[in-house]
Amino acid sequence: MQVFLGIDGGGTGCRAALCDAQGRILGRGAAGPANISTDTAGALANILTASNAALDAAGGVDPARVSAVLGLAGANVSRAAAQLSAGLPFARHRIVSDAMTATVGALRGADGIVAAMGTGSVFGLSHKGTFRQFGGRGFVLGDEGSGAVLGRALLAEALRAEDGFAPMTPLLQSVLDGHGGAEGVIAFSLRASPAEFAQFAPKLLQGDDPAAERIMTDAVMVVRAMINRLQTDPPLPVVFLGGLAGAYAARLARCWDIRAPLGSGLDGALLLAQGAG
Amino acid sequence: MQVFLGIDGGGTGCRAALCDAQGRILGRGAAGPANISTDTAGALANILTASNAALDAAGGVDPARVSAVLGLAGANVSRAAAQLSAGLPFARHRIVSDAMTATVGALRGADGIVAAMGTGSVFGLSHKGTFRQFGGRGFVLGDEGSGAVLGRALLAEALRAEDGFAPMTPLLQSVLDGHGGAEGVIAFSLRASPAEFAQFAPKLLQGDDPAAERIMTDAVMVVRAMINRLQTDPPLPVVFLGGLAGAYAARLARCWDIRAPLGSGLDGALLLAQGAG
């Protein structure tokens, strides 16, 4: 009897779930990070740990019976995916992006657009049985509307205000004061990771600071234009995921049919493994 | 008899010149990089090498007779400036930003606005005997209109075009092809220095690619707004410096009285040392 394994792996952890042809969960497992583009060997080790835990929990399932789908951050780096592929023991497997499993999971395989707005950002379009991914180009060149990009915009605006190029506001002044002035903000910017920039994003959602509203308005316009570019006629439902999901859903509620996610990326990987996604 | 030493130090090298009270050059020297914020000890060593060469060329001038002004990249990092200061042998010295010496040199001490548009960007305002620096906040948060920021904008637009979020053009396609596709562009963006991004800026100034024109138009608008914010009534003359000086001067020729620079940053340091800046 064939069984189906779903893997959802990203920068913080890796989860696995095993199910039968009826979708009944037989076992689960979890392990550490699985970003194959930054640490392929470490990702493979964690994926095997999580998978083996799921197979063991199901009574020691033979990998030769397993049809697996792995939704992984960094799966778009083809060399890393090939290297990972060589180390997997399953009868069949398919490596896809975590954006694809998140989209299929959020829509339960139905047509729609998923905008994942977390530290980074990426857009998934599921339409007539095909999936396409947009954006997700990273902090330096893309990740439009993401927490990291919003945080960077806030710090940049604080420096512009300190120079008199933009109006000073209480929030911008508090950002400057929090770093001991402009010099501290610049020093932070040269060493901070995207996740550290993203820690400033919640400040943009609190209260009614004029600079925060301007930055959020600009970001909402960018995200709206990107989603409109992906829309079809008739329009598809839109699901927002990630820490900024609520903020974008509230500000774009009148643009499209915005829905809550129906499942997780792990659910999406399982659906794809069953051939249903 | 008192003599005056000017030092112009940056990421690529360090130059020194010694003059008398009448401004006659007595000696010159040069050495390696002097960015005090990234390598304070190395910057000090190179500054001393260049200074000693200038003092030797003038017949072995005693540092106790020297009044020095040092215009240095990274001078805004106060801790590094204090550390450097402790190692200097001159009777008197003053450490200022390279933006200040560039401004004083370009205007020969007169009032005006200097926009240094190179790999980075920074704006100097000399008005009624006082100098103020604006911008120059670095590649991550600032450096508006700079070569590095323009190059980054070109790469980001290429990725947007590849996603269908912006129109594809011959230049954007050539950028993608030059990196073996979007994956290569993203990989480059994660490891490239500002100078490496800036190497793409000249592509924006050649021919008439619609994407290049859009990116340059946006940058010119940003730079124009920043300079307008610094302008006085009656308006000050504007000098553009750096590799993009010609591009901005041509596109903003009708906005202000744009002039060619009258001298270098080293000239500015000497003028300041003589108390004339």
User: How far apart are alpha carbons B208 and B72 in whole angstroms?
Assistant: 38
What pLDDT shows up at residue A276?
A: 54
Whether pLDDT at B112 is above 60: yes
Give the pLDDT band of residue A66 (cuts 50, 70, 90): very high
A185 vs B contacts (CB less than 8 Å): 141
Strand, coil or helix: B136:
coil
Give me the torsion for CA of B171, B173, B177, B183, rounded to 10°. Answer: 120
What pLDDT shows up at residue A101?
A: 94
Comparing alpha-carbon positions, the chain B residue that sits nearest to A226 is B165
Provide mean pLDDT across the span B101-124. Answer: 94
Mean pLDDT for all residues in chain B: 93
The per-residue pLDDT for range B222-255, each reduced to its tens digit, is 999 999 999 999 999 999 999 999 999 999 999 9
Q: How far is CA B121 from CA B38, B60, B125, in A?
A: 18, 38, 14
Query: What count of Cα atoms within 13 Å lies in the side-chain half-sphere of residue A74?
Result: 21
The per-residue pLDDT for range B32-41, each reduced to its tens digit, is 988 887 788 8
Q: Which of B142, B152, B163 minimises the CB distance to A135?
A: B163
Hey, of A125, A163, A179, A188, which one would you mutate to test binding to chain B, going by the most B CBs within 10 A of its CB? A163
Query: What count of Cα atoms within 13 Å lies in the side-chain half-sphere of residue B27?
Result: 18
The per-residue pLDDT for range A264-276, each reduced to its tens digit, is 999 999 999 998 5
User: How far apart are alpha carbons A111 and A130 in whole angstroms?
Assistant: 9
Stretch (H or E) spanning B27: strand B25-31
Residue B157's closest CA among B205, B218, B109, B90? B218
B164 vs A contacts (CB less than 8 Å): 134, 229
Whether pLDDT at A277 is above 60: no
The per-residue pLDDT for range A230-262, each reduced to its tens digit, is 999 999 999 999 999 999 999 999 999 999 999
Whether pLDDT at B74 is above 80: no
Structure tokens at B277: 């800046």
pLDDT: which is higher, A116 or A78: A116
Q: Phi and psi at residue B168, in whole multiples of 5°?
A: -75, 140
User: How far apart are alpha carbons A248 and A168 in whole angstroms?
Assistant: 25
What part of B 16-75 touches A (C-beta under 8 Å)?
none
Whether pLDDT at B266 is above 60: yes
Provide mean pLDDT across the span A170-198. Answer: 94
What is the torsional sign of CA B179, B183, B187, B189? positive
Give the residue carrying structure tokens 């997997």.
A88
What part of B 159-198 touches A (C-beta under 8 Å)?
159-160, 163-165, 182-183, 185-187, 189-190
A95 bridge partner residues: A70
Radius of gyration of chain B (CA): 21
Comparing alpha-carbon positions, the chain A residue that sits nearest to B148 is A140
Whether pLDDT at B94 is above 70: yes
What pLDDT shows up at residue A154?
A: 98
- A vs B, Cβ pairs < 8 A, gives 70
Contact A218, A207 (CB under 8 A): no
* Domains of chain B from N-terminus onward: 3-108+262-273 (3.30.420.40), 147-259 (3.30.420.40)
Provide mean pLDDT across the span B254-265. Answer: 94
User: How far apart are alpha carbons A202 and A211 in whole angstroms?
Assistant: 13
Comparing alpha-carbon positions, the chain A residue that sits nearest to B78 is A183
What was the ipTM of the complex prediction?
0.83
What pLDDT shows up at residue B212?
A: 96
A164 vs B contacts (CB less than 8 Å): 134, 229
Q: Could you check whether the bond before residue B237 is cis, i.e. omega within 30 degrees of 0?
A: no
Contacts of B192 (CB under 8 A, 6+ apart): none
**Nearest-CA distance from B140 to chain A in Å?**
6
Structure tokens at A72: 């992984």
Q: Which of A134, A152, A159 minimises the CB distance to B163?
A: A134
Whether pLDDT at B277 is above 50: no
The per-residue pLDDT for range A120-179, each reduced to its tens digit, is 999 999 999 899 999 989 899 999 999 999 999 999 999 999 999 999 999 999 999 999
Contact A269, A112 (CB under 8 A): no
A186 vs B contacts (CB less than 8 Å): 137-138, 141-142
